[in-house]
Chain A
Amino acid sequence: MANPELNRKTQTKVEDSSSLKGTLTSVLLLGGFLVLSWIGVFLLFINRF
């Protein structure tokens, strides 16, 4: 009766702390935003006199 938890096996996911997947995604998102806005401004500059 006491300590019923002892019989349960809890599974905890341990993520590899050296994984940089999230960092890569956010770097690429930021990079994509910068590139798109740069292209937009550049096209504006080219199409005007």
Chain B
Amino acid sequence: MHMHRYEKWWLTLGTGSLIIFLIILGISAFHQGHQPPSAKAYINPEQVDAIAPFDEPGLKKVEGKEWDYELVLVASTFLYNPGEVEVPKGATLKIIATTKDVIHGFEVAGTNINMMLEPGYISEYTTTLDKTGEFLVVCNEYCGVGHHTMKSMIKVVD
């Protein structure tokens, strides 16, 4: 089949970029462990307050794990518990979160942290906080009349 020379060029470019993107996706998923924020763990949403670790929400320093701090967070209409935490700069933080009632969002504005909190499921996200500042946590899943007042704050300090 006759094919114009230029046509071969752009077909090569298109196919090449497809291959490159698939390779990047593969490296990101299998080598760097980038995955949806589901811990593959289930919880009875009606008894969140009684089930560990959600019976004691807050920031905890941990030893012997790949991360330095765990932020256990419970969302409910229309607040996050805890409402504010302070983490030292450079620390690796694992966020472990769930919701007691409806679907809530957990977005840390200006960062890559963005996940859904679904009743009955535990969402997790691990990251290293390498910049100081005050990072606002907002709900980005419409959850009811008080949706826009739902917030928390992660303060990264020196």
User: Contact residues of A with B, CB < 8 Å?
Assistant: 18, 20-21, 23-24, 27-28, 31, 35, 45, 48-49
By DSSP majority rule, is chain A's interface helix, strand, loop, or mixed? helix
Contacting pair A49 B4 (CB below 8 A): no
B residues less than 8 Å from A49 (CB atoms) = 111-113, 127-131
Contact code string B18-54 (vs A, CB < 8 Å = 1, else 0): 0000000000000000000000000000000000000
B residues less than 8 Å from A48 (CB atoms) = 110-112
User: Contact residues of B with A, CB < 8 Å?
Assistant: 4, 6-7, 9-10, 13-14, 17, 110-113, 127-131
Using CB atoms, name the residue of chain A closest to B11: A27
Contacting pair B7 A20 (CB below 8 A): yes
Known: A45-B112, A48-B110, A49-B111. A24 touches B130 (CB 8 A): no
